[in-house]
Amino acid sequence: MDPLMRRAIITGLLGGAAVIHLGLIGMIDAFQSRDTIADVLTLGALLPILIALLIGWRSGGPMRAPHIIPTGRRAVTLGALGGGTTGLVITALALFTTTVDVRWILSNASPSLAEELWYGQGAALGSVLVIVVSATAGAAGAALHVIPGTIARALTVGGITAILVALMEPFVVAVLRNIGLRILEDLFYAQGGLTLIGFLLVFAITAAGTYAWAIRGRETRQRVAAMPPDRRRTGKLVVYFVLAAFLLLLPQIVGSRLSEVVGTVGLYILLGLGLNIVVGFAGLLDLGYVAFFAVGAYTTAVLTSAASPAFAPELPFFGALPFVIVAAMLIGLMVGTPVLRLRGDYLAIVTLGFGEIARILFLSAWAQPLVGGAQGILSVPPPIPFGRDPQSIYYPILFFCILAAVAAKSLASSRVGRAWNAMREDESVAEATGINTVTYKLLAFGLGAAFGCISGALFATKIGTVFPVSFDLLVSINALALIILGGMGNIAGVIVGALVLVGLPELLREFSEFRLLIYGVVLVAMMLLRPEGLLPSRSRRAELHEREDTEEQYAETTGEETGRPVVSS
């Protein structure tokens, strides 16, 4: 058989398997209640179509071995074949769920799933429709290879943005209402998703914008680069000022409910920044990071709460904070020392063990007199000058996030950060160049612990109670997933990761049920496809640019070209 066709069919079958998986875990059914385009397309119906599109894109693309690049009509036909195969599998799944009742095993394999897969059109019409739609989507996916690259990119960006904007409905609507722009809301949003006009508008605007940027962007960038340095500095200042004003006003803009979400995202940014020091900078995969979060929360609760079973004097939050940090750093050293000589994967499991030990100890009857056992500790006061409502608690979180980001950034470029870097790349070589790996590993654990415990302390004051159930392994996994999605070792990456992996599921009720499944897929997919993360660390590029900049400055001041150094150091 023709290898291209074989590939198209196999890819199509894989796509079908993906749809079967999504269907049987109940995701298609759960997403049925969220519209992408109101009254036209639900997210549940969109999922199989997107998968068919992706399958078509893969089927119509270039092939590596044997090396063949399908072109023009052939590529589109292959895409249609791939998408159509997926459609056939979907039909088979729908038919299966209507004829055989296996609901005692697979609770979601119900006739209602078939109805959803058939777009509610019944078996005959629905089957034809599914196959046709999937094949068309596949052809469209393959067509992205055929049309010029800039246009394909513009269409992709437009499509993804439109879907995301539709998904963000609860968020955007709340913001629009809060700042009094109901007109926009009525134009773009209907209950649960974008209106058709809104969807097309968003799509057209972003696609056109992307296209324009692709054509004219280079020019603009050059113009900015050509601006005199003092004007560039003013520009930067304006950007920073706008950013600062935005961050300060954020709770007022988004309203109370969303401030709650923003606060949670902030706590995870803190956790991510701390874990990033341990994992991203120093390369020590710590799976028990939740232990520091827990220690931070419990120490704060014990020291500040009037209801804590032990330790009577109630310190104010900022009075307790130094003790909390010292406690967590000590725990960090305690966890760090026994694992100093362990290699990466062992270290991961031992730290996982430490995390579990911490949780079990906090839960146990033995430690109850100190930390309250399963009853936890109640009435943890808010940090003094602020109330506990989400809009006020946002500010201490923001403060510590900025502090942590600045600290992490300066650490990364300091001598310590470079030592960590060397240690991460090759421990033996690092040691041979005179880096004391023991000290630097302990330093990473200690500082990571400090960041984690501040997050825990804020968490305790934010919700006002501390229960052992809040501190299971999933917190560690969550923090790990977000730094891996964003890009290990990079601060902007942590923020993006937290927004996507913590913010989105908090906003979308339908997602939260599949949150951990999505984390798992993110971890696997990122490692397979893009191990450096969405926003990879720019340190290397920055270093290169630094040299270019100094050379430029030198050329400007002296008016002569720099000669390349003969011996590079």
Partner 1 sequence: MPVRRSRLNLLNLFLWVFGGSILALAAFGALLTIQQGRLSGDQWQTLIIAGIALGSVYALIALGYTLVYGILFMINFAHGEVFMWGAFTAYFAATALSDAGMMASNPILAFLLVLATAMLVSMLVAVMLERIAYRPLRGAPRLVPLITAIGASLVLQYTARGFYGSGVRAYPDFTLFDGSIELGPVEMTVKQFVVIASAITIMVLLYLFINNTRTGRAMRAVSEDKDVAAMMGINVDRIIVTTFAIGGLLAGAAGILYTLLFNQVHFFMGFLPGIKAFTAAVLGGIGNVIGAALGGLALGILESLGPNLLLTGYGIPAPNQLKDVIAFSVLVLVLIFRPAGFLGRKDNV
Instruction: Give the residue, chosen from 5, 63, 250, 349, that forms a contact with partner 1 under the rule CB under 8 A.
Output: 349
Beta bridge partners of 502: none
- Helices 290-304 and 317-336 sit at what angle, rounded to 10 degrees? 150
Question: Given candidates 364, 413, 550, 553, which one binds partner 1 under the rule CB under 8 A?
Answer: 364
- Contact pattern for partner 1 over residues 86 through 105, marking x by CB under 8 A: ------------------xx
**Phi/psi at 312 (nearest 5 deg)?**
-70, -50
CB atoms within 10 A of CB 407: 17
Query: Beta strands of 416-455 (E only): which ranges?
Result: none
Nearest approach, Cβ of residue 492 and partner 1 (Å)? 20
Answer yes or no: are the C-beta atoms of 142 and 80 closer than 8 Å.
Answer: yes
Closest to partner 1 by CB, 217 vs 338, is 338
Q: Which long-range contacts (CB under 8 A, 24 or more apart) does 63-67 make?
A: 63/3, 63/4, 63/7, 66/3
Q: Which is nearer to partner 1, 57 or 519 (CB)?
A: 519
Helix (H) or strand (E) holding 41: strand 41-42
Binding window for partner 1 (CB under 8 A); candidates: 318-326, 409-417, 453-461, 523-531: 523-531
Binding track over 482-521 against partner 1, x by CB under 8 A: --x-----------------------------x-xx-xxx
**Closest CB to partner 1 among 324 and 484?**
484
Q: Near partner 1 by CB under 8 A, which window of 22-30, 83-91, 120-128, 269-277?
A: 22-30
Find all residues with CB under 8 Å of 45, minimum gap 6, and list them: 32, 116, 119
The reply on whether position 345 binds partner 1 by CB under 8 A is yes
Q: Taking CB under 8 A as the criterion, which residues in 131-190 touch partner 1?
A: none
Q: Which is nearer to partner 1, 22 or 412 (by Cβ)?
A: 22
Query: Considering only residues 480, 491, 494, 496, which one is a binding residue for partner 1 as defined by CB under 8 A?
Result: 480
Contacts with partner 1 in 23-82 (CB under 8 A)?
Answer: 24-27
Which one of residues 132, 523, 534, 535 is an interface residue with partner 1 (CB under 8 A)? 523
Q: Does 436 bind partner 1 (CB under 8 A)?
A: yes
Place of tokens 């600290």: 407
Query: CA 252 to CA 246: how far, in whole Å?
Result: 10
Work out the number of other CB atoms within 10 angstroms of the CB of residue 382.
Answer: 17
Cα–Cα–Cα angle for 461, 463, 464, rounded to 5 degrees? 55
Least distance to partner 1 from the beta carbon of 279, Å? Answer: 8
Least separation in angstroms between CB 429 and partner 1: 15
Cβ atoms of 7 and 59 closer than 8 Å: yes
Q: Is 360 in the site for partner 1 (CB under 8 A)?
A: yes
Using CB under 8 A, pick the residue from 99, 337, 433, 562 that binds partner 1.
337
Count of other CB atoms within 10 angstroms of residue 60: 32
Stretch that binds partner 1, among 74-82, 230-238, 360-368, 545-553 (CB under 8 A): 360-368
Instruction: Check: CB of residue 274 under 8 Å from CB of residue 455.
Output: yes
Can you read off the two tokens belonging to residue 311?
Answer: 């330790």
Q: Smallest Cα–Cα separation from 94: which of 137, 46, 61, 129?
A: 129
Closest to 61 in 3D by CA, of 90, 53, 534: 53
For residues 492 and 352, give the distance between their C-alpha atoms in angstroms, rounded to a whole number. Answer: 26
Binding status of residue 363 toward partner 1 by CB under 8 A: yes
Closer residue to partner 1 (CB): 185 or 427: 427
338 touches partner 1 (CB under 8 A): yes
Task: Out of 6, 21, 218, 547, name the contact with partner 1 by CB under 8 A.
Answer: 21
d(CA 11, CA 134): 13
Q: Does 330 contact partner 1 by CB under 8 A?
A: no
370 lies in the site for partner 1, by CB under 8 A: no
Cβ-based nearer residue to partner 1, 22 or 450: 22
What binding mask, one character per residue, do residues 382-421 give for partner 1 by CB under 8 A, x or -? ----------------------------------------
Please tell me whether the peptide bond between 229 and the residue prior to it is cis, using omega within 30 degrees of 0: no
Q: Which of 476, 469, 478, 470 is nearest to 520 (CA)?
A: 478
- Peptide bond before 66: cis, by omega within 30 degrees of 0? yes
Which residues, listed in sequence order, are joined to residue 466 by a DSSP beta bridge?
Answer: 377
Among 240, 318, 366, 399, binds partner 1 (CB under 8 A): 366
> For residues 282 and 339, what is the distance between their CA atoms, to the nearest angstrom?
14
The span from the CA of 316 to the CA of 313, in Å, is 10
Instruction: Indicate which single residue of 205, 524, 544, 555 sits in contact with partner 1 (rule: CB under 8 A).
Output: 524
Of 105-124, binders to partner 1 (CB under 8 A) are: 105-108
Considering beta carbons, is residue 210 or 351 the nearer one to partner 1? Answer: 351
Residues of this chain that bind partner 1 (CB under 8 A):
21, 24-27, 104-108, 283, 285, 287, 337-346, 348-350, 352-354, 356-357, 360-361, 363-366, 368, 436, 438, 473, 477, 480, 484, 514, 516-517, 519-525, 527-528, 531
